Structure 1
Amino acid sequence: MERRKFLQLTATGTGGLLVVPQFLTAKNLFVGTDDHSNNVLLFIQLNGGNDGLNTFIPFTDPLYFKNRPSIGISKNEVINAINGLGFHPALKDLANIAQDGNLTIVQNVGYPNPNRSHFRSQEIWQTASDSHRYLDNGWLGRFLDIQCKDEGLPSVNVDNIDNLALKASESKGLTIKDFNKIKRYAISDNELQLSDNPQLDFVRKLQFSSLEGMDEIKNALEKSQNYSESYANNPLSKNLEWMAKLIKGGLNSKIYYTSLNGFDTHHNQKQLHQNQLRILNDAIYSFYRDMKQSNLLQYVTLVVFSEFGRRVKENGTGTDHGTAGPMIIIGGGNKGKIIGNNPNLSLLDQGDLRYETDFRSVYATLLKHKFNFDSNVINIKNEVIKGIF
């Protein structure tokens, strides 16, 4: 077997995906200290372009129903209405979190000269670049290079692929595809000794040298095994459950990241979007209850975003790529407010919502309030938003 193929299986760090070979088993992965006072940021990226207008619905605006006669959510379906805005009925538990005062909505988030390509717009959000600039490293990777350069495992990405937001020059995070495929991680001295199988020896040594911090990971999962909460039965919920275990076990990672696909709703949006929002709602509420029960919610800030919103006017049964949309912030001592104005459907930009808040201002706010970090150092020069924390 070629060395390149071994690296695809076991490489970690700035560009690696952890998919441990079946014979390199590992039941327990991850973590660190008993000090839960360190703040943690957790991101859920909604891939495909979430329709913000059907997520937090401006149900008192007649232009909403005029533009969406088929896919609009009726007034009697909207829940937890406040100031002309209400939650999609699939987000009933997020509405409860808002009632608890632990959920903030930042309205009309976007950026100048928006790009409607999924790939390029995701890249802009992940690197915090201007729409005409291209950067090699992610905004979180640049932050971790400075703030967490001495940490063994500063970030954890639970996903099928690496995330550009976490790509760094020095900092080494970890992408995990599936915890359940990891039978064990420990490699004994005897296993590292040469055998009559040089390929196996190579993989053993590569595995041992690549996975720094595995003792901490194992310890964290062991510490958290007696603090279990029931989680909803969907893949996103399972990802959040693993993250919760690592956080409860004291892993010293500052950043956690995962994603949920399925938001490119050009057709049959009403049913498809409802299904995806229900998955999101159930997963987040499971995680929220867990963090509250563990008395960790004040330290953990969960951020939900998408690469763009959808067009205001429906295309018949769905919506096409748009621009601005809402961001959700849960926990972390947020003030439970709606930041910004409700979407202005009478003042559009070529049929799209006009952005009101640059997404990089949200990033600057998170870094400032959670880590006392000046985002100017990583070339995010946007002003911090008042009123979120």
Structure 2
Amino acid sequence: MNRRNFLTLTGTFTGGALILPDFLHAFGSQKNLIVGDQCVVFVQLGGGNDGLNTFIPFDNPLYYDLRPKIALSKEDVIGKNQGMAFHPALKGFAKMQQNGDLSVIQNVGYPEPNRSHFRSQEIWQTASDSNTYINEGWLGRYLDLQCKDHQPTAGINLDHVDNLALKGVEPNSITVKNPNFFKTKSQKEDQGLLSTNPQLDFVRKIANSVTEGSDEIQKALSKSTTEISYPKTGLGTNLAWIARLIKGNLNSKVYYTCLNGFDTHDNQLTIHKNKLADVDDALFSFYTDLKKAALLQNVTIVIFSEFGRRVKDNGKGTDHGTAAPMFVIGGNNKGKIIGNNPNLSDLDQGDLKYATDFRSVYASLLQNKLDFDYTTIGIKNKALQGLF
């Protein structure tokens, strides 16, 4: 068993208890690991969110011609700006944009798009080309280079499964299902003992790393509270935990969580409205919490999905498409709409043509928020301008 496969098997909490293992010493003793106290929080919308019904080109007659069954009326959309507007369930998003704290990046995708959920998620999580396969995630590669020693809480994934984006050669991130159940050991077993079996030594080291990671998480939680009411949803709960870890000065560079259920082939109007309401309620609570704590300028929140939906509806919903908007909240972003409105008259086999490569957004985050040279992890795209 090699190190990478072992991490794949052991990197997650199961039933509230962590099944990872033993090493990573220096993290707790280090001062702030984030340049300028900056961190990035990713919210991934799994299933392929319908971007056209999230940020809506309400002023374009083709939107209504192509979507006779699912188009949102001009009277219902909110936050109208430059011919675009938000779904009525996104009142918090409209408010954040009005406050100058939310940027929308239009028509984000990549060349030769893949419409498979699994493969497109993999492309976004590894920042690979559509015909290239990479074992480590883009954030895992970043943490491998950024962390001088193994640092188990440099990246935090709030989920019940590991996320490929954070997977590196070294274990610099932890998947946490519920930080309250993150138990620590009173004594570390076999500390300092080495065997003649390097695989066993590695297992012991990883086990120790999780003990230290859990100690750091408990310290952060002990120094923070939840000061506002979050929705009692999975995403709301995860973002409330992330807020407490940030306020407790855990000093993680990256936080990640997901919300699934956006594969709206059927009954889209009802399902999509409910999913967007979940996103809006949770993120506006998170935004409000960070703003009250005077931390919003230090936290950049990125919301994305693996692809958008086809432009023409299927009568009941939409099928897998390509380009879609990304949303960026906080981190002193410029609060702008970046890029042209979706061009519904110039499609690629019925799909939107991408205008901004998602890796340009990643490059901007690494360069502007984490003070990191994105080319060292294989991102060749230029950083997106005008976001920060």
Please report how far the alpha carbon of residue 188 of structure 1 lies from its aligned counterpart in structure 2 after TM superposition.
4.1
**d(CA) in 1 for partners of 2:15, 2:30:** 25
**d(CA) in 1 for partners of 2:56, 2:372:** 34
Q: Is residue 239 of structure 1 aligned with residue 238 of structure 2? A: yes
Identical-pair percentage? 56
Match of 1:217, SS state, is helix
Match of 1:80, SS state, is strand
Please report how far the alpha carbon of residue 148 of structure 1 lies from its aligned counterpart in structure 2 after TM superposition.
2.2
Asked whether the 8 Å contact 1:59–1:75 carries over to 2, the reply is yes
Per the alignment, residue 116 of structure 1 pairs with 115
Please report how far the alpha carbon of residue 21 of structure 1 lies from its aligned counterpart in structure 2 after TM superposition.
6.8
1:76-91 counterparts in 2 under 5 A?
A: 76-91=75-90
**d(CA) in 2 for partners of 1:330, 1:230:** 19
Structure 2: where are the runs of 5+ without partners? 20-26, 192-202
1:289-368 counterparts in 2 under 5 A?
A: 289-368=288-367
Asked whether the 8 Å contact 1:12–1:174 carries over to 2, the reply is no
Distance 1:146 1:275, change over 3 A: same
Match of 2:255, SS state, is strand
Match of 1:212, SS state, is helix
Please report how far the alpha carbon of residue 211 of structure 1 lies from its aligned counterpart in structure 2 after TM superposition.
2.6
1:207-286 counterparts in 2 under 5 A?
A: 210-225=210-225, 228-286=227-285
Per the alignment, residue 198 of structure 1 pairs with none
Asked whether the 8 Å contact 1:14–1:167 carries over to 2, the reply is no
1:1-389 counterparts in 2 under 5 A?
A: 16-19=11-14, 37-150=36-149, 152=151, 153-182=153-182, 184-188=183-187, 210-225=210-225, 228-389=227-388
The superposition leaves residues 100-119 of structure 1 with CA deviations (integer Å, 9 ceiling, x where unpaired) of: 00000000000000000000
Please report how far the alpha carbon of residue 275 of structure 1 lies from its aligned counterpart in structure 2 after TM superposition.
0.4
Asked whether the 8 Å contact 1:31–1:219 carries over to 2, the reply is no
Match of 2:62, SS state, is helix
Please report how far the alpha carbon of residue 23 of structure 1 lies from its aligned counterpart in structure 2 after TM superposition.
12
Match of 2:256, SS state, is strand
Distance 1:140 1:22, change over 3 A: closer
The superposition leaves residues 162-214 of structure 1 with CA deviations (integer Å, 9 ceiling, x where unpaired) of: 000000012421001233444x4242479x9xxxxxxxxxx999865643232
Match of 1:279, SS state, is helix
**d(CA) in 2 for partners of 1:149, 1:350:** 47
**d(CA) in 2 for partners of 1:189, 1:303:** 37
Asked whether the 8 Å contact 2:302–2:329 carries over to 1, the reply is yes
Please report how far the alpha carbon of residue 46 of structure 1 lies from its aligned counterpart in structure 2 after TM superposition.
0.4
**d(CA) in 1 for partners of 2:112, 2:384:** 21
- Output the TM-score relative to the length of structure 1: 0.87
Please report how far the alpha carbon of residue 15 of structure 1 lies from its aligned counterpart in structure 2 after TM superposition.
5.3
Match of 1:376, SS state, is helix
Asked whether the 8 Å contact 1:33–1:250 carries over to 2, the reply is no
Asked whether the 8 Å contact 2:137–2:168 carries over to 1, the reply is yes
Match of 1:211, SS state, is helix
Per the alignment, residue 197 of structure 1 pairs with none
Please report how far the alpha carbon of residue 216 of structure 1 lies from its aligned counterpart in structure 2 after TM superposition.
1.7
Per the alignment, residue 197 of structure 2 pairs with none
Asked whether the 8 Å contact 1:139–1:165 carries over to 2, the reply is yes
The superposition leaves residues 335-373 of structure 1 with CA deviations (integer Å, 9 ceiling, x where unpaired) of: 000000000000000100000000000000000001221
- Output the TM-score relative to the length of structure 2: 0.88
Asked whether the 8 Å contact 1:142–1:378 carries over to 2, the reply is yes
Distance 1:23 1:75, change over 3 A: closer
Distance 1:151 1:252, change over 3 A: farther
Q: Report which stretch shifted further, 80-89 or 229-238.
A: 229-238
**d(CA) in 1 for partners of 2:166, 2:173:** 7
Match of 1:45, SS state, is strand
Distance 1:223 1:383, change over 3 A: same
Distance 1:22 1:364, change over 3 A: closer
Match of 1:304, SS state, is strand
Asked whether the 8 Å contact 1:14–1:168 carries over to 2, the reply is no
Match of 1:144, SS state, is helix
Asked whether the 8 Å contact 2:266–2:318 carries over to 1, the reply is yes
Distance 1:33 1:241, change over 3 A: farther
Asked whether the 8 Å contact 1:102–1:330 carries over to 2, the reply is yes
Match of 1:135, SS state, is coil
Q: Report which stretch shifted further, 35-44 or 75-84.
A: 35-44
Distance 1:177 1:189, change over 3 A: closer
| 1:107 partner amino acid | Q
Distance 1:94 1:21, change over 3 A: closer
Distance 1:377 1:22, change over 3 A: closer
Distance 1:358 1:21, change over 3 A: closer
The superposition leaves residues 8-64 of structure 1 with CA deviations (integer Å, 9 ceiling, x where unpaired) of: 9xx87895112377799xxxxx97888684100000000000000000000010000
Matched positions, count: 363
TM-align CA RMSD: 2.6
Please report how far the alpha carbon of residue 123 of structure 1 lies from its aligned counterpart in structure 2 after TM superposition.
0.3
| 1:159 partner amino acid | D
Match of 1:371, SS state, is coil
